[in-house]
Amino acid sequence: MYDFHTHTFLSDGVLAPVELIRRSVEAGYRVIAITDHVGQGNLEFILTTLAKDCEMANKRWDIRAVPGVELTHVPKDDIDRLASDARDMGAVVINVHGETVSEPVEPGTNRAAVSSDNVDILAHPGLIDKEDASIAASSGVLLEVSARRSHAYANGHVVRMAKNAGARMILNSDAHEPEELLSREFAMKVALGAGLSQSEAVDLLDESPKYLLKKIDRELLG
């Protein structure tokens, strides 16, 4: 499994970063991005801490663990700047907390995220409109199909908008607890439940992560 959206006790998860990585190893993960919630104030602390545990885990265990962030409830006009700052501070994966139907996210957050060259994933985009989905298709920002309870309510809509616009999607756990890490069987159920066909679901789980990994590896190489 690949998972590019998870949380530790550095934000609102329950595990230490190194334990989350260890649990993901035991769950059969190949790649995990730890993307704790950040704003301007805690950005540097989160990334410095995550980088240390990811580096240690990568040396000792058969997994690729990478530090990342989820820019969460930050003003829409600061998203691109903060994403750039996060990249400069060592974030490998940059997610933006999208306009989920279950939280009062500032309108315009989706547009700011998909328009940024520094953002990788628009997490749980909620009732994203076709224009924003089209921008995502052009910019290469991936639209998330979420396995997390309340955020998953709009998965069917996200899939329809993404397919109509030609935008690439990615499925993530948004895990806050070890029990929320994904198995392939459950991930397939989420994908099929969102309205994807069997072949589309397989592509979502296998090819979209490879696309993202190639993208971030190019960025790391400069």
What are the tens digits of pLDDT across the range 91-133? 999 999 999 999 999 999 999 999 999 999 999 999 999 999 9
pLDDT at 219: 76
- What pTM was estimated for this model as a whole? 0.97
Query: Is 80 a residue whose pLDDT tops 80?
Result: yes
What digits encode the pLDDT tens for the residues 54-72? Answer: 999 999 999 999 999 999 9
DSSP classification of residue 97 = E
> Tokens in use for 14?
């329950």
Question: Of 161, 163, 134, 158, whose CA–CA distance to 144 is shortest?
Answer: 158
Complete domains list, the chain, with CATH: 2-221 (3.20.20.140)
pLDDT at 209: 98
> Tokens in use for 91?
């974030």
Segments in the chain forming alpha helices (H): 17-26, 43-60, 79-88, 109-114, 130-139, 155-165, 184-193, 198-221
Average of pLDDT values for 166-184?
A: 98
- CA 154, CA 23: separation in Å to the nearest integer? 28
Query: Is 50 a residue whose pLDDT tops 80?
Result: yes
Confidence of residue 141 (pLDDT cuts 50, 70, 90): very high
- What is the DSSP track for 26-85? HTT-SEEEEEEEE-TTTHHHHHHHHHHHHHHHHHHSSSEEEEEEEE-S--GGGHHHHHHH
> Tokens in use for 63?
């997994």
pLDDT at 218: 85
> Tokens in use for 120?
């990788």
- CA 15, CA 185: separation in Å to the nearest integer? 24
pLDDT at 121: 98
DSSP classification of residue 3 = E
